[in-house]
Structure 1
Amino acid sequence: MKFHHIASAAVIALAACATPAEEAGAPAHDIAAFNAPPLSPEALLSHVRVLASDAFEGRAPGTNGERLTIEYLQQAYEAAGLQPGVVLADGTRSWVQETQLTAATLTNTPTLTLSGRDGARQYEYATQFSAWTRRLDPTVDIENAPLVFVGYGVNAPELGWNDYEGVDMRGKIAVILINDPDFETGDDRGFGGRAMTYYGRWTYKFEEAGRQGAAGAIIIHETAPASYPWQVIQSSTGSARWDVVRADRGANRAGFEGWINNDVAMETFRRAGLDFNRLKARAQTRGFRAVPMGSLRGSIELQTRTETRTTNNVVGVLPGTQRPQETIIYSAHWDHLGRCPAIDGDDICNGALDNATGTAALIELARRFSAEGAPQRSVAFIALTAEEQGLLGALYYQQHPLFEPRNTVAAINMDGINNAGPTHDIEVVGFGKSQMDDLIAEAVQAQGRRVAPDSSPEAGYFYRSDHLHFAQLGIPVLYTSNGIDMVDGGVERGRAINEAYVAHNYHKPSDEVTEAWDMSGGAQDLEALYAVGRRLADSGMWPEWRENAEFRAAREASRR
């Protein structure tokens, strides 16, 4: 959800999941929420109490918690009038889309060695650098690879910007700045000013370094442009790196990926005889060219253990009455961290807000659509897996879409539903990217409320939840976040609630239902999201990306 930059990725141990057929004899859950009106605060809270209970053990993929979650979702979807949304090879239907994942775990404690004319210096794992590999090889050994400063590591032909132009990165290590070239300047140099684009995300920078054939890729950590301190990177060091199964076993990625802290970076530039601040300023201008870092060479050896496991997306669909091939998607991730480091004897990260609330919303939106009658277009409700491991359920869906992207009208994603009471506003993350903004604004205005733009666009929250992979297919998306202007207590109380959640409950065992929960504001937000989906589902409307949105080209290509 919106606070994903705060905590490290969880290490999960996936267990084999029983199939629905194998679980047919399991006792059914009593879905108490169905005794309350659809999309009501009572129904939402009732689902969350079940999904975030200790019995579900934090809903980690591949655990008994996944089995219970899938069972609950299947029964709820069926009771809500949905059909299984996955068509298997033999023509039968299933509620689950099996998702193959790989995990790569370091078995050694690596050392990063940077050598130059002044000798060799070694840096300490976790405290000074972090590194991993996406290649599923037992050993990755990089020796004396030249370092090249590639600015922000961006190759954006549509913007006329290529930090790699004129340099052959094969056998070399790319040294890269985080965020976009216009983050610090604030003026829009093609990347939206201070608002981060996908080109500013660390995930993109590693992907592009791999496409350029780099032997390694190192990002320089700076707290402001990264939007989180070094401790966040340090806390995830050593964790298993999860990914979808790739045919090339990660061969298209750089041999290693990682970060160096700011002190190491400054020392490295000094050793190379380079002025970091001057080069950084050059990298913020169009026409920048990569700069070899003198005589410096990098060496590192990574030893890795890999495994492959299966988890599941859960998919239900309400077929359209007139144009069933055209689909609106609602999505939310069902997974959380499972067992986690104990606090006061509690080692279950229940994930009540993150994201039992979004999972509950899927069920209740399905009930609401059914209660109001099937729409003209189909509506799909997708509960995605492995979001906490890097949006992997959504990535798998991107690679194996169940509904044709060119016929998918829009996607609405939910990650953390307001549990603190009514607000005067609702925040749109990624505001300004598509015409979905206009639809949610009209729905919220009809409630006597207002839409607020993303309050922290420079942090790139738009690129940190599952809807990203729908957007990369070209599908216009809507992702909202809690408003902070509380009816009871105003902005001051809203900010205090958000800050307290991040400080005390986010990705901790204390993310549980308490007596203070008030889902009335969340229900109001979901009524607006329902209104947007219903309007699209009962019309011939096709929302479009704005001219400056980086996903517009993908949409145009898919529609052709």
Structure 2
Amino acid sequence: MASALFISACGKNTVPQHEQSVSLDNVHQHIKVLASDKFAGRGPLTEGESLTINYLADEYKKIGLVGAVDGEFFQPVPMAKLTPNPDMVLKIGKLEFQAGKDFTARTEQINQTIDLVESDIVFVGYGINAPEYQWNDYQDIDVTGKTVIVLVNDPGFATQDDALFTGNAMTYYGRWTYKYEEAARQGAKAVLIVHETAPAAYPWGVVESSNTGSKYTLIDEENNRSKLPIMGWIQYEATKKLMTAAGLDYADLKKQALMPSFKATPLNLTANLQLKTSIEHAESNNVVALLEGTSRADEYIVVSAHWDHFGTKQTATGPKIYNGAVDNATGTAATIEIARILKKQHQDKPFERSILFVNFTAEETGLIGSELFARGDLIPTKNMVALLNIDGMNVLDAVDYTLQYGKDMSEMEDYLVKAAAKQQRHVKLDPRPQNGLFFRSDHFSFAKQGVPSLLFMSLGDTDPDYITHKYHKEQDDYSNTWSLGGVEQDISLIVDITSELATNEDWPKWKAESDFKKRRLQDRK
């Protein structure tokens, strides 16, 4: 099944076409191995991790790359593995809600027991404090020590009004991560985000699988005491029961929350919950391989993909392996193949800039590996020209477009348009901007540090069944019937952009005014 889609020569490089071709035999084999039951779902801090990172290091060595961590391939990521008690019960008045079925709760604090005892419950709309939008759901309310209930996404999605936030396209204020961060700043003890499939962009099953079982977190010097004590979700039907018990109408409250004049509403109910968490301190690893440049070796282009998935979960019917074939064995396999092709180019005409190939740990539990890397301890962010991140590829046939996540974000979008045109493809904006995918993968850790980034993701645009029945589920398995036409296209495209940046002198800039742009300007002074 070897392929011969040839990449246009980029920049100063002129390489024989046979050396530039994507080997789909290679890619198939990498995905097959990484998504095999032997790797047990590639869970961080498991035997699956050891198998995965050693496989990656071996493959990079075969290609001729070197480790970027003092000559080694592994960057230690110290963190804690936190496993909440699955049998906890949330009690509110006479109501009792079961973990998993009705709600989820977890913590990033290094604390074995967190008690909610008669914690006052407050509905705070979307839980947003955004001065630039003249919006503050926490105005005139003190939620210190309280349990807050918030809506997922932001008011722009609910109204589809482009003049409200950014309309259908989710802002960072709509992300669940922001809801927890802001509630912590406000002093809340617990947050329950109301799940509804449309604004969340995934069904309750995804919430349940992603927020139960073991999760991971980086640890600060204060054992994460600044983090929100209890981070939770609550199912839609459970929310309606709760609001009815409070003598309130959930639909009416949602309408009120769409107005900037909204005022937080105490429910006059209290929450009781004991969150017990088993804690293991351990060390996971990012895998970092280097293709060193020549005259400007201290300037780096980063090509990345997370290697982890959800591992193996024990259930009443036996173990379930979450192999994560598309998400993200495909992206991990692609980084190896991209490295192979670029090494070939580099041998013929060395790149002036260096290229880093990074496979991050613990993306699925909160972008942990990329957060550590983006702190700049190994490579300062001011030395990173740009990042190209892969998180789930089109394993089916080739298409006449490539997806762009975010709009008018950075000049990396111009590189995307140019490279796609060489393949006679056009750039199509994210068909589901309400899902906020720009904020949901490892590149976002770098964007927050000012590094212009592109996300390559194809999880549901070519396979409509994927999100509903495979995404973050045990059904995400490898198939030898995949044509990998889309994978071939995007590997070629990423090679094109990376090789051009590795030979030119450009430092792509952010377009829109943002915290990302401000951060980059600090680095580039």
- TM-score after normalising by structure 2: 0.87
1:547 is matched with 512
| Deviations, residues 394-431 of structure 1 (Å, cap 9, x unaligned) | 22223454221122111101122322222111112334
Task: Check conservation: 2:393, 2:459, Cα contact below 8 A.
Answer: no
Distance 1:514 1:149, change over 3 A: closer
For 1:551, the aligned partner's letter is F
Q: Within 5 Å, which residues of 2 pair with 1:114-133? A: 114-115=92-93, 120-133=94-107
Residue 407 (1) aligns with residue 389 (2): no
Distance 2:421 2:459 in 1: 14
Distance 2:353 2:47 in 1: 35
Distance 1:348 1:220, change over 3 A: closer
Task: Check conservation: 1:433, 1:549, Cα contact below 8 A.
Answer: no
2:87 is matched with 109
1:249 aligns to what SS in structure 2?
coil
Distance 1:182 1:425, change over 3 A: same
Residue 363 (1) aligns with residue 342 (2): no
For 1:125, the aligned partner's letter is A
Task: Check conservation: 1:102, 1:306, Cα contact below 8 A.
Answer: yes
1:471 is matched with 447
Distance 1:49 1:291, change over 3 A: closer
Structure 2, unaligned runs of 5 or more: 1-17
1:434 is matched with 410
Distance 2:136 2:524 in 1: 28
1:424 is matched with 400
Distance 1:536 1:60 in 2: 33
Distance 2:289 2:356 in 1: 6
Distance 2:403 2:438 in 1: 12
For 2:292, the aligned partner's letter is P
Task: Check conservation: 1:113, 1:300, Cα contact below 8 A.
Answer: yes
For 1:395, the aligned partner's letter is E
1:538 is matched with 503
Q: How many equivalent pairs are there?
A: 505
Structure 1, unaligned runs of 5 or more: 1-34, 88-92, 485-493
How big is the shift at 1:331?
A: 0.3
Given candidates 42, 58, 61, the residue that maps to 1:75 is: 58
Distance 1:162 1:64, change over 3 A: same
1:32 is matched with none
1:51 is matched with 34
1:290 is matched with 264
Task: Check conservation: 1:342, 1:348, Cα contact below 8 A.
Answer: no
Distance 2:419 2:239 in 1: 48
How big is the shift at 1:379?
A: 1.1
| Deviations, residues 322-345 of structure 1 (Å, cap 9, x unaligned) | 222221110011223343569999
How big is the shift at 1:511?
A: 4.1
Residue 193 (1) aligns with residue 171 (2): no
Distance 1:445 1:508 in 2: 35
Q: Which stretch shifts more, 61-70 or 521-530?
A: 61-70
Distance 1:515 1:130 in 2: 36
1:311 is matched with 284
Task: Check conservation: 1:202, 1:219, Cα contact below 8 A.
Answer: yes
Distance 1:159 1:556, change over 3 A: farther
Task: Check conservation: 1:330, 1:381, Cα contact below 8 A.
Answer: yes
2:148 aligns to what SS in structure 1?
strand
| Deviations, residues 269-326 of structure 1 (Å, cap 9, x unaligned) | 3444545444433332335443333x32222222222111111100011222222222
Distance 1:237 1:98 in 2: 24
Distance 1:52 1:199 in 2: 34
Q: Which stretch shifts more, 298-307 or 154-163?
A: 154-163
Q: Within 5 Å, which residues of 2 pair with 1:516-527? A: 516-527=481-492
Given candidates 378, 381, 386, the residue that maps to 2:362 is: 386
2:224 is matched with 250
2:156 aligns to what SS in structure 1?
coil
Task: Check conservation: 2:90, 2:99, Cα contact below 8 A.
Answer: yes
Task: Check conservation: 1:342, 1:509, Cα contact below 8 A.
Answer: no
Task: Check conservation: 2:86, 2:213, Cα contact below 8 A.
Answer: no
| Deviations, residues 492-541 of structure 1 (Å, cap 9, x unaligned) | xx74xx13444555455554443412234312221111111122222221
Task: Check conservation: 1:427, 1:483, Cα contact below 8 A.
Answer: no
1:182 is matched with 156
Task: Please identify runs of 4+ aligned residues in structure 1 that moved more than 6 A.
Answer: 341-346
1:21 is matched with none
Distance 1:343 1:132 in 2: 21
Distance 1:358 1:159 in 2: 36
2:114 aligns to what SS in structure 1?
strand
For 2:81, the aligned partner's letter is A
| Deviations, residues 123-150 of structure 1 (Å, cap 9, x unaligned) | 3333333222322222211222222222
Given candidates 312, 325, 328, the residue that maps to 2:301 is: 328
Distance 2:395 2:139 in 1: 49
2:273 is matched with 300
1:25 is matched with none
How big is the shift at 1:200?
A: 0.7
1:491 is matched with none
1:257 aligns to what SS in structure 2?
strand
Q: Which stretch shifts more, 310-319 or 67-76?
A: 67-76
| Deviations, residues 232-285 of structure 1 (Å, cap 9, x unaligned) | 334456412321223222311233221222233334334445454444333323
Task: Check conservation: 1:101, 1:244, Cα contact below 8 A.
Answer: yes
1:337 is matched with 310
2:232 aligns to what SS in structure 1?
strand
| Deviations, residues 15-69 of structure 1 (Å, cap 9, x unaligned) | xxxxxxxxxxxxxxxxxxxx98663323322333333344434333233332232
For 1:417, the aligned partner's letter is M
Given candidates 324, 334, 353, the residue that maps to 1:377 is: 353
Distance 2:95 2:323 in 1: 44
1:205 aligns to what SS in structure 2?
helix
Q: Which stretch shifts more, 99-108 or 173-182?
A: 99-108
1:528 is matched with 493
